[in-house]
A and B are shown apart, each in its own frame.
Chain A
Amino acid sequence: MRTWIAFWNILMKDVRNYYLKPPNISWGIIFPLSWTLMQMLRSYGDVNFAEIRRLLPGLISMSVLFGTTSMLAVTITFERRGRSFERLLLAPIPISAMVAAKLSGAVIFGMFNAFVPAILAALLVDLAGVKWGAVLGAVFLIALNSTLLGLMIAVSAREVFEAQTFSNFFRFPMLFLCGLFIPVTSLPVYLRPVSFLLPLTYGTDLLNRWILGNSMLPSELCILVLVGYAAGLFVICQYNIQRKWIL
């Protein structure tokens, strides 16, 4: 019970203090909105509504990736710098519960980001046939993996700017390598193994299947890889936290 009270309050604090702040709400809306509009207008400036559905899996993946990785890394680094994070480390709850609470806030924020392009698309084109329940599950798995990647950065970074710099190193390549806007099958052969090492490839593939009806890999395999990836990242993060934060 004690752990649940602490978990819930850490989550609510993060939501109130970080995720519901105007700059983050505006980021969560404007970033996916501008990408959606950019993609719509990219063909010689003509508005191409038909493109929207095809682009939706990539836009959703990108929104989740950027929302989660930056937010968690920045908030944790910020709290560590102000030493308020020590309060959480010293709370009489398992560190895994504390980390899970921090992750949950970022995952929720990432999922909120994901549905901005989805709502915009729903207003502009017919999204009949989309399996929304499955899409929600896929978005959750993408958000969880991206958040854990953000946590790995947060564990290593000492300063907020370091966290932002590190996260850009893997976020931007993922935009091009994970099939968001360029199908993995269209990539040069020597780059494809890199794509298959990145969890976002599997998340985007799930979204392709449930939004567009076609995918590269079986959904069961993608889910398995994403769950395994998340579990592995969680274990690595836990180990690194114990090693780096309890000096």
Chain B
Amino acid sequence: MNDQEVVVVKNLTKRYGNLTAVDNISFSIRRGEIFGLLGPNGAGKTTTINMMIGLARPTAGTVLIKGIDVVKSPKQVQAIIGIVPDESNLYGEMDGFENLCFCGALYGMSKAARERRARELLEQFHLAKAGKRPFRAYSKGMKRRLTIAAGIIHQPEILFLDEPTTGIDVESARQIRQLLLDLKEKGTTVLITTHYIEEAERVCDRIAFMVNGRIAAKGTVSELMDSITPGHTIRLTADRDLTPFVKELAQRFAICTVELQENNGLTLTSKERIPLSPILQYLDGLGVSIFEARELRPTLEDVFVKITGIEATVLDTEKEKGGLGK
């Protein structure tokens, strides 16, 4: 464990009878980064989080949070982490302000400190007007925002969020993603589980793909993309059919593989970065005008499908079950 790694998960396993929910996974989270566990329902994401926060006992393996073993000292760990479960589980009969104050009290905050912080958070989460309404009367999006606010009332160094935007409206989901970025800006380390590929791509510094209790791949978005398509591909779109120029281009720019594409296009693929100016100048000299040149990269969805073998439609179905969220 180095100074930068605030969370270290090593060979973590959880079995329920014959079922292995989490199968020997290892990863670490660096200080101040947003780390995403991406996978379909049943992949083992929630079980992993539950073991990391002390709500489930690992069958094998260790979890160290800032060097503290969660199994040995769960309460010491719980004092420095914030937890946002996959369900908005505040108290329905209490209003927003009371719920936040109560959660602050669970972390030992004084009355004045928790009331001040609760007001701050209600403002920050655009819930100030709803602060005196019972939690049960909130919309799904409002409940989710208040649940996140409750998770950070004590200003934890590390925040765990389980499916934070599942089943909520577009605007609330956007606010939550922005909030995660703001927290990161302030130095909070975040672990988020999600089955939204776009969400993971937008907010996470590093991502681990989790399938059937295992981590299939992990890395930054770029690293994951590079893992399936090493190299660079550029697509050019011209004012005319480029068939007559393909052979000559391939000879002249030998570092690239040239392929003709439909709609007056062609692609140049190389292991190295492709310098564009000489190619454009050459084609210009031949009287060919290039309207568009762009680098083609696989989407994270392509990477996920390729690595896990799970079609993105499986995740799409889960999105529909969960609600809008995007």
Chain A interface residues (CB < 8 Å from chain B):
1-3, 5-6, 8-10, 13, 17, 82-84, 86-94, 246-247
User: Does B61 have its Cβ within 8 Å of any Cβ on chain A?
Assistant: no
Q: How many A-B residue pairs have CB under 8 A?
A: 68
A89 near B106 (CB under 8 angstroms)? no
B94 near A13 (CB under 8 angstroms)? yes
B85 near A86 (CB under 8 angstroms)? yes
Separation in Å of the B87 CB from the closest CB of chain A? Answer: 5
B102 near A2 (CB under 8 angstroms)? no
- Identify the closest chain B residue to A2 (Cβ): B108
Number of interface residues of B (CB under 8 A): 28
Report whether over half of chain A's contact residues are helix, strand or loop; otherwise say mixed: helix
A92 near B108 (CB under 8 angstroms)? yes
Separation in Å of the A181 CB from the closest CB of chain B? Answer: 37
Q: What are 5 A-B contacts defined by CB distance under 8 Å?
A: A86-B89, A87-B89, A93-B106, A94-B75, A246-B54
User: Does B316 have its Cβ within 8 Å of any Cβ on chain A?
Assistant: no
Picked from B54, B89, B102, the residue with its CB within 8 Å of the CB of A83 is B89
Chain B interface residues (CB < 8 Å from chain A):
50, 53-57, 75-76, 78-79, 83, 85, 87, 89-94, 102-103, 105-110, 150
Picked from A3, A82, A247, the residue with its CB within 8 Å of the CB of B108 is A3
A9 near B106 (CB under 8 angstroms)? yes
Task: Report the separation of the CA atoms of residues A92 and B91 in the bound assembly, to the nearest whole angstrom.
Answer: 19
Picked from B53, B89, B103, B107, the residue with its CB within 8 Å of the CB of A82 is B89
A88 near B106 (CB under 8 angstroms)? yes
- Identify the closest chain B residue to A98 (Cβ): B106
Separation in Å of the A11 CB from the closest CB of chain B? Answer: 11
A6 near B105 (CB under 8 angstroms)? yes
Name 15 extra pairs, CB < 8 A, besides A13-B102, A89-B55, A246-B57. Answer: A6-B107, A13-B91, A82-B89, A83-B89, A84-B90, A84-B91, A87-B103, A90-B53, A92-B106, A92-B108, A93-B75, A93-B108, A246-B55, A247-B55, A247-B57
Task: Report the separation of the CA atoms of residues A66 and B171 in the bound assembly, to the nearest whole angstrom.
Answer: 49
Separation in Å of the B217 CB from the closest CB of chain A? Answer: 28
- Identify the closest chain A residue to B89 (Cβ): A83
The verdict on A82 contacting B85 (CB below 8 Å), with A1-B108, A5-B105 known, is no
Picked from A17, A83, A88, A247, the residue with its CB within 8 Å of the CB of B87 is A83
Task: Report the separation of the CA atoms of residues A84 and B90 in the bound assembly, to the nearest whole angstrom.
Answer: 6
Separation in Å of the B68 CB from the closest CB of chain A? Answer: 12
Q: Which residues of A lie under 8 Å from residue B102 when comparing CB positions?
A: 9, 13
Task: Report the separation of the CA atoms of residues A6 and B79 in the bound assembly, to the nearest whole angstrom.
Answer: 12
Picked from B75, B91, B110, the residue with its CB within 8 Å of the CB of A5 is B110
- Identify the closest chain B residue to A91 (Cβ): B106
B94 near A17 (CB under 8 angstroms)? yes
A90 near B108 (CB under 8 angstroms)? no
Q: Which residues of A lie under 8 Å from residue B94 when comparing CB positions?
A: 13, 17
Q: Which residues of A lie under 8 Å from residue B150 when comparing CB positions?
A: 87
Picked from B56, B89, B91, the residue with its CB within 8 Å of the CB of A17 is B91
A92 near B75 (CB under 8 angstroms)? yes
